[in-house]
């Protein structure tokens, strides 16, 4: 199908019976929208100005703000697409279980749900949320421990994502700051949008990782701490709604990007439960050990044979770390078997109950 010819001026339409029309058809340029955004956003929200504060100067886009461009660049990047093949919690997830990609999408939904009613810059929130985990290696958080010894400053997925994985995109300083500092162990982001994403990340993963663990038979709904069930419910939708609404109410009342003590206590208990019963259980530690051994062997092999990696600037060891960090789970396992004759019984496996 090549579309249908319609009026006026013999335009091509997608549907034969297309009747949708705009009474005042016009396209607002970014310059026009920029003039209005200060009145539309809350005082203290981050304004998008011109082409944005970028390492390499650019000309403004005709229709998109600088943060909308950042969001689009991240969405179309290789680093973002590879998240579909990277572990969230369970290696080689079964149908409907989260990957790093679906986690990033859920973080974006939670963050926008908080930011929009508060009058924050939604495009910046989306850009930070979609990009926040692009620095993760294969095999989940175990990849950080695997790659850490090879870098002078260690391997942190947050800083690696901003400074290495997404560096070619020439993103705005505010976007990179939010990605670099989304982890609670890092300095606070410099924008309220970045702080919202920090909260949204934690809210999203404690809820959906529990749901996946229940689906996998690792825990049961009845195992949930009483404080969580009483204050936030036992289903993911209830929990997300409770935490999102708590943040909106807190920020609206105080102007501080935070959460009231009651819900924050429930969130902390929820996270502690996930760590004890899901992330640090014996089967998870065994999988982490397998990931660490395999990734370190790959790094050392590529560092010794830099000709196997596309020519890139940098020392062989740093190039090897960058190459391995960018791998999906399956590509890492396949490379270990192909290049290192890695024993299959030492590979990471699927869910181990």
For the chain, how many helices (H) and strands (E)?
15, 2
Q: How far apart are CA 61 and CA 18, in angstroms?
A: 30
3-class secondary structure, 152: coil
Q: What pLDDT is attached to residue 83?
A: 96
Going by pLDDT thresholds of 50, 70 and 90, the confidence category of residue 352 is low
Going by pLDDT thresholds of 50, 70 and 90, the confidence category of residue 353 is very low
180 falls within a domain: yes
Q: What pLDDT is attached to residue 351?
A: 63
Q: How far apart are CA 242 and CA 228, in angstroms?
A: 10
Residue 323 maps to which CATH number?
A: 1.10.3210.10
**pLDDT surpasses 80 at 91:** no
245 falls within a domain: yes
Q: The whole model's pTM is what?
A: 0.95
Going by pLDDT thresholds of 50, 70 and 90, the confidence category of residue 25 is low
201 falls within a domain: yes
Q: What pLDDT is attached to residue 36?
A: 92
The domain tally of the chain equals: 1
Residue 12, strand partner residues: 5
Give the residue carrying structure tokens 């926040």: 132
Residue 6, strand partner residues: 11
Give the residue carrying structure tokens 């004759």: 341
Domain membership of residue 43 as a residue range: 32-281+290-346
Cis peptide before 328 (omega within 30 of 0): no
Count how many Cα atoms sit within 13 Å of the Cα of residue 8 in the half-sphere of its side chain: 1
What is the per-residue pLDDT across 42-80, written as a single tens digit (0 to 9) for each?
999 999 999 999 999 999 999 999 999 999 999 999 999
Q: What are the Cα distances from residue 333, in Å, to 75, 96, 138, 149?
A: 26, 22, 9, 21
61 falls within a domain: yes
352 falls within a domain: no
Q: Which two tokens stand for residue 205?
A: 């993963």
């Amino acid at each position: 199908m090549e579309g249908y010819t319609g009026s006026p001026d013999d335009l091509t339409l997608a549907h034969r019976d297309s009747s949708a029309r705009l009474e005042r058809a016009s396209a607002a340029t970014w310059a026009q929208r920029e003039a209005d955004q200060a009145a539309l956003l809350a005082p203290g929200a981050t304004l998008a100005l011109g082409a944005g504060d970028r390492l390499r100067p650019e000309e403004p886009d005709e229709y998109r703000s600088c943060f909308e461009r950042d969001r689009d660049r991240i969405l179309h990047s290789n680093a973002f697409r590879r998240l579909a093949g990277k572990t969230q919690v369970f290696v080689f997830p079964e149908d409907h279980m989260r990957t790093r990609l679906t986690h990033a999408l859920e973080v974006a939904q939670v963050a926008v749900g908080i930011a929009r009613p508060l009058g924050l810059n939604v495009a910046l929130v989306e850009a930070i949320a979609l990009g926040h985990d692009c620095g993760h290696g294969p095999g989940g958080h175990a990849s950080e421990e695997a790659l850490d010894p090879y870098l002078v400053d260690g391997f942190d997925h947050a800083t690696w994502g901003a400074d290495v994985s997404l560096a070619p995109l020439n993103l705005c300083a505010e976007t990179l700051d939010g990605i670099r500092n989304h982890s609670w162990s890092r300095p606070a982001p410099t924008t309220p949008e970045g702080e919202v994403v920090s909260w949204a990340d934690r809210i999203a993963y404690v809820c959906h990782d529990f749901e996946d663990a229940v689906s996998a038979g690792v825990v049961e709904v009845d195992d949930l701490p009483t404080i969580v069930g009483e204050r936030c419910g036992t289903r993911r939708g209830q929990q997300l709604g409770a935490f999102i609404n708590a943040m909106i109410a807190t920020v609206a009342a105080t102007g501080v990007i935070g959460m009231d003590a009651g819900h924050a206590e429930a969130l902390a208990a929820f996270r502690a439960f996930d760590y004890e019963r899901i992330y640090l259980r014996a089967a998870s530690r065994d999988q982490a050990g397998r990931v660490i051994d395999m990734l370190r062997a790959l790094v050392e092999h590529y560092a010794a044979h830099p000709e196997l990696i596309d020519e890139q600037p940098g020392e062989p060891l740093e190039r090897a770390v960058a190459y391995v960090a960018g791998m999906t789970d399956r590509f890492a396992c396949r490379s270990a078997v192909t290049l290192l004759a890695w024993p299959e019984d030492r590979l990471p496996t699927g869910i181990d109950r």
